[in-house]
Chain A
Amino acid sequence: MLAYHMQNFSGYSVQYSPFFDNKLAVASGANYGLVGNGKLFILTIQPSGQIVPSNAFLTRDGLFDLSWNELNENQVLVAQGDGTLRLFDINLQKYPVAIFQEHKREVYSCNWNLVNKQNFVSSSWDGTCKIWSPVRKQSLLTWQPVPNTAKTNTNRSCVYQVEFSPHDPNLILSCSGTSHISLKDLRQPGNHVLSFIGHHGMESLTVDFNKYRPHIFCSGGADKLIRIWDMRSIKKNPRFQPMSINELTGHELAIKKVSWSPHLDDVLLSVSYDMTCRVWNDIRAHNIAVTNAVDPNGGCRKLFNKHTEFVTGCDWSLWGSPGFVSTTGWDGNVFIWNALR
């Protein structure tokens, strides 16, 4: 296990570089991200196994998420608490190379399109998602995954995560505080979104597409559940509530982030407010007759409990032997460990 401690900053998100096998970026915030500055750490894993910061960018507000530019190996996009997205060049110092400002509240998530690589998507606590091009200051498209209604509490309309499908450049998955999980197909005219309640009315905090099964995605929420969904079962009828195809139970508090393995179609990693990270097997992936409920451990194949505060970010390494992951949390630690051993 490798470790790096960010002094005075709490980690929110970590992502391996898609271009360099020894670089990763960490988005963090001072005072647990509640108030104060943020900092983008660019960490380098040295051959000796030591993790050293190669660059850092102090920001005026906390950073909640980041995404490497899929077209430029030196650029990292961050989602900032002041409602802006900022694109940093890791070879430059101090200031970003571009600022994208349209969101009215905290930008909580950002994700680069893995297929066409020309644009990125952001989600915010203002209840909207936006698609951006790095060459334009204005967003290309804005929509609300969950339309505002009288029943919708403004504080619950936060869109906690949004991400492009790794299989389809036009498909976008998001989740919000209203418990809705929404699918947006950019080819559909208007503001058409497929939405459904994902976590028993409690906040849906994270979603992720399976990298090998294009119809499968998972979600995590405040009900402590990780649920696996087949998007083919989601109907256009809003009264129709789809059933998850599998449920993973074991976390003791809300799940902050889930991530499917880039190497295995039935393995996923989750991090939680219970200060643990868990590696799961989706037992149903290869046997539709059973679910994880049949497994004594609920399909949990590994539990990582080195973090001493809430664990908020995780990512699988694309490099080397499969299984290396990095996790970060509010304890300011970045751990790199093998999830499959």
Chain B
Amino acid sequence: MSVACTVASNPFYQISQKSNNATIVPKTTSKLIQNQNQKQGHLLSINTNNATSINPFMNHSNISANVPPSNTAAIKNNDNWLFQFQQMSVIDPVECSDNYKSLYAQYEGKSLNNTTTTRENFNAGNNIMMMQKYQNYANTIAPTTKTAYDSVNEDFSVVDAELESMMALQPDQSVIGEVDQDQLLFKNAAVSIVNITNTDSNISNTNSQFSTDTTAKFKRSKFLGLMRRISDEDVTLKRHNCEQSSNNTNNAKYDSLYSSELNECVGDEYITIPDKLN
């Protein structure tokens, strides 16, 4: 058996491979390798040297593949390896301190004593029990969870319905879009008009600058009613829709008034007039 095979099959090596951090460091590594080089030929020595230069135990599979061991050499090496194996020590850089190990050993000992029955049951039982247990757990959780999900789903469905109804009432963003400067000015103008007519009408008639007749007219005025709706942001300017815009060479961006509350045009719909001459 080659050095490589031996090392590879060595349980400490496997541990080191699993731990990835443990390193098996023969005390006589250089000597060992030197001896093996002399005995097993150039290729092995090269590979071993290369492997050693990088990581002495990295490429053992390659070594084993490249160097078929002879029986006599293996027998001799067995003795050597036994000896060398005894001389080897394992250094784990992440190994815990002895104090911690002893404390953990005490803890493990207590745990084992307390859970012996359970573990025995588990060991004596089979996976079905565990499955049954988890199934029971799942069953105990599932109805609750299902109920909870149902109620949540119901809540969500209610919220969805509300949102849908709100969306239906939302103004058509393709028509209205975001409030731009003109719409803001329009609203501000409406607010000022409402303020002019409202402020004074709230004052008692004796102090009002408007006559009773004028105040009554203001209250009945459809235009001022529209201004109130504009100031309340219920009504705003409606932009040209795409079809009309493509046909319309008019510079005006707006063609009618739009109520976001009613989700429909207010007043008179715009009629596109071609720019023709008689």
Contact = CB atoms under 8 A, between A and B. Distances in A.
A36 B278 contact: no
Nearest to B220: A308
A60 B278 contact: no
Contact of B252 (A58, A81, A330): A81
Interface in B245-278: 248, 250-252, 254-257, 267-278
A81 B253 CA distance: 12
Interface residues of A, number: 36
B210 A35 contact: no
Interface stretch (A89-97, A165-173, A259-267): A89-97
Contacts of A61: 250, 252
A234 B257 CA distance: 45
B95 to A, nearest CB: 83
A161 interface: no
Interface stretch (A26-34, A174-182, A211-219, A286-294): A26-34
Given A34-B257, A35-B256, A36-B255, A309 B267 contact: no
B110 interface: no
Contacts of A305: 213, 217
Interface string B222-263: 110010000000000110000000001011101111000000
Contact of A310 (B223, B268, B274): B223
B273 A30 contact: no
A336 interface: no
Interface string A23-64: 000000011101111000000000000000000001111000
Nearest to B258: A35
Nearest to B215: A252
B210 A252 contact: yes
B211 interface: yes
Given A81-B252, A83-B251, A37 B271 contact: yes
Contacts of A93: 278
A98 interface: yes
A97 B277 contact: yes
A212 B273 CA distance: 42
A58 B271 contact: yes
A83 B196 CA distance: 29
A8 B257 CA distance: 13
A95 B278 contact: yes
At the interface, is chain A mostly helix, strand, loop or mixed?
loop
B35 interface: no
Contact of A30 (B268, B275, B276): B268
Most buried by B among A31, A99, A275, A308: A31
A56 to B, nearest CB: 13
B80 interface: no
Given A32-B223, A82-B251, A97-B277, A37 B217 contact: no
Contacts of B267: 8, 30-31, 36
Contacts of B186: 34
A123 B220 CA distance: 33
A230 interface: no
Contact of A32 (B210, B226, B274, B277): B226
Contacts of A60: 248, 250, 272-273, 275
B70 to A, nearest CB: 103
Nearest to A310: B223
Interface in B156-211: 186, 196, 209-211
A252 B255 contact: no
Contacts of A99: 275, 277
A252 B211 contact: yes
A55 to B, nearest CB: 12
A274 interface: yes
A331 B226 CA distance: 13
26 contacts: A8-B268, A31-B256, A31-B257, A32-B223, A32-B226, A34-B257, A35-B237, A35-B238, A35-B254, A35-B256, A35-B257, A36-B255, A36-B268, A36-B269, A36-B270, A37-B271, A61-B250, A81-B252, A82-B251, A94-B276, A95-B274, A95-B276, A252-B209, A275-B221, A310-B223, A331-B222
Given A82-B252, A305-B217, 13 more contacts: A31-B256, A35-B237, A36-B255, A37-B271, A60-B248, A61-B250, A61-B252, A82-B250, A95-B276, A96-B277, A96-B278, A274-B214, A331-B222
Shortest 8 CB-CB contacts between residues of A and residues of B: A30-B268, A60-B273, A31-B267, A95-B276, A95-B278, A92-B278, A8-B268, A275-B217
